Structure 1
Amino acid sequence: MNWSTHAVVAALISFMASPVWAADLLVEAESFTDHGGWKLDTQFISEMGSPYLLAHGLGQACQDAKTEVTFPAPGKYRVFVRTKDWVAQWDAQGAPGKFQLAIDGEPLEETFGTQSADWFWHDGGIVDIDKTKVTLSLKDLTGFDGRCDAIYFTNDLNAKPPTSGSQLAKWRKNKLGITEDIKVEGPYDLVVIGGGYSGMGAAISAARMGCKVALIQDRPVLGGNGSSEVRVWAMGLIRRGKYPRIGEIIDEFADSAKKSPGTYEEFGDDQKEAIVQAEPNIDLFLNHHANQLEMKDGQISSVTAFDTRTSQVREFKGTLFCDATGHGSIGALAGALYDQTDKGRMGMSNMWRWDEADHETTFPETPWALDLSMKDFPYPRDHHGQWFWESGFDKDPIQGAEAIRDWNLRAVYGAFNAMKNREGASKHKNAELTWLAYIGGPRESRRLIGDVILTQDDIVDKREFPDGCVPSTWSIDLHYPKKEFADKFPDNPFISIAVHDRRVDRGYGYPVPYRCFYSKNIPNLFMAGRCISVSHEALGTVRVMKTCGMMGEVVGKAASICKIHDCSPRDVYEDHWSEMDELLKLPGQARRETVTSQIEMPKVLPPASSYGPPSGLNPTEMAGIVVDDIQAEKSGTWTEGTGLKGYVGYGYLYAGEKGAKVRFPVKVEKGGKYEVRLAYQPHENRSEDVHVTVAGKQAKDAQTIDMRKKPPIEEGFISLGVFPFEAGETAYVEVEGSGKGNAHADAVQLLPVDAK
């Protein structure tokens, strides 16, 4: 046989062994036109490469996700589904994420979500496609977080798609035909990546100061941890300190949740979006994940993001960029200097709630969840699994994020299983699991380094920086595993305890310097939120949402100065701080069309105070003379609190130490008789014999109060009696702890009986 005969035979063999033509079809799960009851999960794109659909049904099978697809031709195809058995990494039995793929309503024999601890292409066998248009359906079988990333059909029956990494990403783009289809957006004065409180604050502030802004958010809603998806209520006090107008923008959209987690309605997702959409200078891009950028001359020139529903790629060109991702993701891509705490780092929460149905309910057994009894977790008070359902303390907060979230899910399902199917069953016959956050609430990952790295000592010692501008009022609040619940799962505890350093100036606020809000080595990069330039300890106070939002407000104003002077964020501090000082004094509603336009002031100005508006009852609107605890003199160890609502002013004080005292000085302008009242918040841990003294030139009294009981007078007051006071004298009311439970001190009120 000559060479040409060999070639003909080889070609014939190849022709007989392979399809005459190659035909295939890649369907991304996120592109399904009807997600049914499945959720679009975009949290772990940097880890596993793609968004995916999650069957988050809380133990009840989700409604099918469906879409119509067009095949290149009828024929035999091998089908692959990219998925995983999400509990297999812990050798847990039961495969809770089982689901089927149906073609025109007919499920394949293979059940997916039953193999591999890692994402992989699960072979579904060979199918006969007898027409070009068919309907695909994802049929959830459990309601316990099955997941589907993509579906691939190929008539090359021996083919296998790439498994992971850059090879998979390139292959996917090629199959989807989007390699060259990049839409260019901009140029913008400021591109903000991250749509939580910090990103919203930056975008709105910059837009109102005349900048053209792109706001990129990878979720369908704004708010981040303060959205209905995560439901962490907004903490941190606003509008106080040297620049009491900072925070007025945040006040426009901050949630009104009464508990954490609150209700869906309390977080006002629609209101947040409406406020952003109302700004003509903002282009909002929801459902866009930023994962690439371009550098030029050491600066960021553009950021590339893709639509998490359609995979459409957009390139955002800009002059300035703000990393408000919480993870410092854009800074890391740009090569910005950053730090990350390896040991003792705070974790991620997935909060939950249960309710009482009007009938008995059932909950499936969960042998794959954490093996818990009722003593292994704190009972969910008020039907809430709160912030302390937290894990992943020393796990990788970025590449290990999906495993952290999934461990949290296993913990909650194991706890509810104990309530419904184990020793808690008789008490919880009507209990039903009604909400569990599948979007994690992370607290700490990368911290980008700026010209100043703020430390705990700076805050406690009240070190003054000339550019101090954002008041931080939260205590230095660091989370650690709670030992009594950690022994059973020492590798990854799931219940935390908060350790507070309360030496933060809560009333006036500690002013965080502006130099923490821009990168030390990337000249056009701002940052706002959890990824600013602070130490691990200092993060404990600046990380709460209203404080993060105020950082964004400052960044937005600085961006407008950069635009005016064609300068860097650093130059704002070094060369233009007097101009920045003036902008920081403007009300949040002040605006200009462009950076060179006249600033228009709002017709109605909210009152400004260095202590800002009270978060509780306003003492200036109450009758008589009111002295809040913020004006009181303390001795001993007192803790500031805001958790028990109905307090006066900015919070209250409590102490369990014997002999700890709070003295309220009362200046009496007009002499006469006054009824003296004391405000406190009752609680089961309060003392039943708190010592209270009234003292003046004529007024003398000492008594004990049982602070476990609700105060009998409206607004949380109890009467201490009627006493005479002279004009101009300063009397006092003193509260002293007995050491038998907590003494509580909130406010003192004097009401005239016959004032002269």
Structure 2
Amino acid sequence: MKRIFLSLCLLAGMVLVGFAQKRVLVEAESFDHTGGWVIDQQSFDVLYSSYLMAHGMGNRVEDARTTVEFSDGGRYHLWVRTKDWAPFPTGPGAFKIHVNGNPLEVVFGQSGDAEWDWYYAGEVDMKAGENELLAEDLSGFNGRFDALYFSTDKDDAPVNDNEALLKVRKELLGLTDGPEEVGNFDLVVVGGGMAGTCAAISGARMGLKVALIQNRPVLGGNNSSEIRVHLMGRVDQNHYPKLGRIVRELDNGDPGNGNPDAARYGDERKLQIVRAEPNISLHLNTHVYDVEMDGNSIKAVIGRDIATNQEYRFEGQYFSDCTGDGTLGYLAGAEYRMGRESRSETGESLAPENPDDFTLGTSNLWASLERDQPSGFPETPWAIQFSDEYHIDDYKADWQWETGFGNFNTIYEAEQIRDHNLRAIFGNWSYLKNEKAEKYSHHELAWVAYIGGKRESRRLMGDHVLTQMDIQDGVMYPDGAVTATWTIDLHFPDAKNSRYFEGEEFFAGTKHIKVQPYTIPYRCLYSRNIDNLYMAGRNISTTHVAFGSTRVMRTCGMMGEAVGYAAFVAKKNNASPREVYNLHLNEFMGIIESPVNIYNLPTLPQN
């Protein structure tokens, strides 16, 4: 009964058959018991909502259940917002809704339409008081729904436009009075991957009051158990050897990519380290989707809990965009780039002749395990089809399982990218299980990522844009703060994969161009036009080519450490991030060279 809102009136004074019209919105992600369904927020920036998904890897998942209270019983019309995620011509995402123990006749998720829409489920009898809703998965192959909408008026079909629907959500969820105030912070870090986690810890240990906001239940981003990418980049070849110590503290060893043992990625270790910091206010499951501006400065960010839909407001003096997608910077109006620059613009030999929208792709890793007993796997006519001529003969995935490459927008088509990856994974596994049973009969899928591991999207522009020449020439700028060691590693579609799936590639190749350890200037870590915005991670100020080297997670973690130190210098001197470079660079670089201990710090000025 919690986490839902019953709206009794559509408009003041509206009358329908002698009584006020009633509307009820039940958000799927707010179900009291999600069972085997998972909460997916990856498309929040498109849908302005999370949704529930039955990610069973071919096995039906446990039902999701909730209760909703109606002030008056009676007949209601019901709509379900869903889609057919793999309509080739009809996808596998079938599910049913039960109301008070009665399954509705309509089977959802098999419409043949890949777009989100409201589907009419018919009339239902609702009791005054508590009513039970249940979502029953019928396939185990990623059926999904966003919300349930009840109305006493059949003509009151809900709107489907995402922005218009946001207003309806706010009204029916009781969010129109504004978000709950969390507090005023010295540093608000948005994004809890390696970069954001390190920035929060670094700033907190320097005495800053820090809010760390992460839109998933775990920290670590691509290095979490949800995505399972191992840490790359070196922390032992630094020009400043003490930078990277927080990265080492969070490092749980090298389990490789896509290891089926979730514990190897150290989710709990990361959480314990952050929760041990008295200056960090940690907010998991909170997606930042709005900002308040004061001129060219960010005043506050607004986040929504991805499960309860409660909204929160975080005010701050400095902000750091560690989202990877540059979400905070984009909302604030920061200058950014996305895609590849031309060779004539940057002078880089590795840049293309003409600029384009090409970006590195997103991976959904997977792994199988050998069991004592043989197992089957269903045919998947809705998935990508494989053959003796072309299939991928392996027990697990590595980084090459990748979709994007300019064929999809990695931000606004994140759901389609993930779904394309799933069609490739399930289609290939079905082929292996059914056509190569002598090799794979005793193997079964142990884990498939449903959260996409992104590589590239927006890059926020700073006062310096790192280039290929900066890297290969080893230019040592006076503000060279973070030592990077990874190759220039730019992915592209695998040639054979392109031959069979042109325009829909899901397998990558690369060519590693070795570099000597080089430094990333501090000026790449703050926005050139938003006065109090830092950034750390894969969205820092680089060209596409240079990004191929800076993007790996140990390097991103060191960026976060540097941002925490810079925010301390800015706070101490009441300076902007740019003024730290112009007026206080020696102080900042002194901390980079030998990070100080919080107990030896001077008293920081108060807001």
Q: Which TM class, normalised by the smaller chain length?
A: over 0.9
What are the Cα deviations for residues 230-258 of structure 1, in whole angstroms up to 9, with x where unaligned?
00001111143221101000111123233
Corresponding position of 2:603:
596
Q: 1:501 and 2:501 equivalent?
A: no
Does the aligned pair in 1 maintain the 2:292–2:300 contact within 8 Å? yes
Deviation at 1:375?
Answer: 4.2
CA distance in 2, matches of 1:586, 1:155: 67
Structure 1 residues 19 and 377, CA, compared in 2 at 3 Å: closer, same or farther?
farther
Partner of 1:697: none
Q: Work out which of the residue numbers 416, 431, 436 in structure 1 matches 2:429.
A: 416
- Determine the C-alpha separation between the residues in 2 that align with 1:171 and 1:258: 45
Compare 138-147 and 262-271 and name the one that shifted more: 262-271
Superposition map of 1:736-751 within 5 A: none
Deviation at 1:376, TM superposition (A): 2.5
Identity across the alignment (%): 45
2:177 matched residue in structure 1: 180
- The alignment status of 1:527 with 2:535, answered yes or no, reads yes
SS at match of 1:201: helix
Tell me if structure 1 keeps the 8 A contact 2:70–2:127. no
Query: 2:233, 2:554 within 8 Å by CA — same for their partners in 1?
Result: yes
Letter of the 1:29 counterpart: A
Answer yes or no: is the 8 Å Cα contact 2:392–2:428 preserved in 1: no
Q: 1:358 aligned to 2:391?
A: no
Tell me how far apart the structure 2 counterparts of residues 398 and 385 of structure 1 sit (CA, whole Å): 23
Q: Deviations over 1:381-405 (max 9, x none)?
A: xx22111000111021111111111
Shift of 1:18: 4.0
Question: Counterpart of 2:390?
Answer: 376
Q: Is the 8 A contact 2:85 2:114 kept in 1?
A: yes
Q: What corresponds to 1:292 in structure 2?
A: 290
- Matches for 1:69-218 after TM superposition, within 5 Å: 69-88=68-87, 92-115=88-111, 116-218=113-215
Counterpart CA distance in 2 for 1:173 and 1:62 is 30
Of 301, 313, 328, 2:299 maps to 301
Tell me if structure 2 keeps the 8 A contact 1:239–1:248: no
**1:585 counterpart = 2:583:** no
2:229 is the counterpart of 1:232: yes
1:574 aligns with 2:582: yes
- CA contact under 8 A between 1:68 and 1:135: conserved in structure 2? yes
Contact 1:377 1:485 in 2 (8 A): no
Cα deviation for residue 121 of structure 1 reads 0.8
CA 1:158–1:437: 2 relative to 1, 3 Å: same
**Matched ranges for 1:199-278 at <5 A:** 199-262=196-259, 263-278=261-276
Give the whole-Å Cα distance in 1 for the aligned partners of 2:28 and 2:155. Answer: 23
Q: Give the secondary structure class of the aligned counterpart of 1:426.
A: helix
State the SS of the aligned residue for 1:555. Answer: helix
**Could you say which residue in structure 1 is the equivalent of 2:461?**
449
In 2 relative to 1, CA 371–19 (structure 1 residues): closer, same or farther, beyond 3 Å? farther
**What does residue 405 of structure 1 align with?**
418
Residues 19 and 290 of structure 1: is their aligned pair in 2 closer, same or farther, counting only changes over 3 Å?
Answer: farther
CA distance in structure 2 between the partners assigned to 1:129 and 1:329 by the alignment: 41
CA deviation map 1:559-616 (0-9, x unaligned)? 001111110111111111111122113358x324975279xxxxxxxxxxxxxxxxxx
Q: 1:538 to 1:21 in 2, by over 3 A?
A: same
Deviation of 1:358 after TM superposition, in Å, equals 0.8
Q: Give the counterpart letter for 2:359 in structure 1.
A: R
Deviation at 1:79, TM superposition (A): 0.7
Q: Deviations over 1:401-438 (max 9, x none)?
A: 111110000000010011012x2223211121111110
Q: Secondary structure at the match of 1:519?
A: coil
Partner of 2:114: helix, strand, or coil? coil
Q: Distance in 2 between matches of 1:595 and 1:148?
A: 53
113 and 594 in structure 1: CA distance in 2 versus 1, 3 angstrom threshold: farther
**In the alignment, does 2:548 pair up with 1:551?**
no
Task: Give the counterpart letter for 2:258 in structure 1.
Answer: P
Is the CA contact (8 Å cut-off) linking 1:450 and 1:519 kept in structure 2? yes
Partner of 2:11: none
Partner of 1:52: 51
Aligned to 1:149, the other structure's residue is in SS state strand
Tell me which residue corresponds to 2:439. 427
What whole-Å deviation, never above 9, does each CA across 1:127-185 have from its counterpart, x for those lacking one?
11234211111100000001111111111122101112321001111011121042112
Question: What is the SS of the residue equivalent to 2:226?
Answer: coil
Q: Structure 1 regions of 5+ residues with no counterpart?
A: 1-13, 599-756
Contact 1:25 1:154 in 2 (8 A): yes
Q: Given residue 267 of structure 1, which amino acid in structure 2 is its aligned partner?
A: Y
Deviations 1:431-468 (A, max 9, x none): 21111110001100100000110011110111121111
Provide the rounded CA distance (Å) in 1 between the counterparts of 2:396 and 2:388.
15
Instruction: Tell whether the 8 Å contact from 2:220 to 2:270 is kept in structure 1 after alignment.
Output: yes
User: C-alpha separation between the residues in 1 aligned to 2:164 and 2:123?
Assistant: 25
**Aligned counterpart, 2:33:** 34
What amino acid is the match of 1:357? R
Q: Determine if the alignment matches structure 1 residue 539 to structure 2 residue 547.
A: yes
2:36 is matched by which residue type in structure 1? G
The residue identity in structure 2 corresponding to 1:99 is F
Question: 1:482 and 1:595 mapped to 2: Cα distance?
Answer: 55
| Residues 418 and 425 in structure 1, CA contact (< 8 A), matched pair in contact too | no
Aligned length: 573
> Could you tell me whether the CA contact under 8 Å between 2:393 and 2:432 is conserved in 1?
no
> In structure 1, what is the Cα distance between the partners aligned to 2:26 and 2:417?
28
CA distance in structure 2 between the aligned counterparts of 1:542 and 1:595, rounded to whole angstroms: 33
Between the aligned partners of 1:244 and 1:373, the Cα distance in structure 2 is 51
Letter of the structure 2 residue corresponding to residue 535 of structure 1? T
Greater length-normalized contact order (CA 8 Å, ≥ 6 residues apart): 2
State the Cα distance separating 1:370 from its structure 2 match.
0.3
Any gaps of 5 or more consecutive residues in structure 2? 1-13, 340-355
- For 1:536 and 1:101, locate their aligned partners in 2 and report how far apart those are by CA, in whole Å: 46
Q: 3-state DSSP class of the match of 1:407? A: helix
- Distance in 2 of aligned mates of 1:352 and 1:19: 57
Q: CA RMSD in A?
A: 1.6
What secondary structure does 1:147 align onto?
Answer: strand
SS of match in other structure, 1:387: coil
What is the CA–CA distance in structure 1 between the aligned matches of 2:231 and 2:454, rounded to whole Å? Answer: 15
Q: Distance in 1 between matches of 2:212 and 2:599?
A: 19
Task: Indicate how the Cα distance of structure 1 residues 196 and 19 shifts in structure 2: closer, same or farther if over 3 A, else same.
Answer: farther
Look up the equivalent residue of 1:399 and give its one-letter code: Y
